Amino acid sequence: MRVEELLALARSGLDRLSPAEAAQVQSGGGLLVDIRYAALRERDGTIPGALVVERNELEWRLDPCCAHRAAEARGHDLRVVVICDEGYASSLAADSLRRLGLHRATDLVGGFQAWRAAGLPVTPPGVRAHPGC
């Protein structure tokens, strides 16, 4: 199997979201998960309120049954939108979360770049999300 086929297979099970739809999920209590590596976050900024979990830790941090889970990983019914830089790695990651039982996991079409291009909120590089921390 080629990577393009793997990507198509992963996406066939996802209801991928536009930036506006992802923002609605977040405002409705869903979780945006930014899996971009640090250099991209430092270059482009972050999405306010998104949980940052680098890709190599994703399954451990989002599995509600794992001892290493993030506090936000409250259960398998959690609405999760995975965000990478351009919307490719996030599809594979969301598929992996679905296989862990997070049946509402999906990803953002176009990734962080689409979010920013849509004019949605971005915390600029170098600005702390929580001043004073």
Domain ranges of the chain: 3-117
Question: Quick check: 18 pLDDT over 80?
Answer: yes
Phi/psi at 116 (nearest 5 deg)? -65, -45
Confidence class of residue 126 from pLDDT cuts 50, 70 and 90?
confident
The CATH number fitting domain 3-117, selected from 3.30.70.20, 3.10.620.30, 3.40.250.10, 3.40.50.300: 3.40.250.10
Radius of gyration, CA atoms only, the chain:
14
Task: Say if residues 34 and 14 touch (Cβ distance below 8 Å).
Answer: no
Residue 19 has pLDDT above 60, yes or no: yes
Q: For 44-63, write each residue's pLDDT tens digit.
A: 999 999 999 999 999 999 99
Q: Is the pLDDT of residue 133 over 60?
A: no
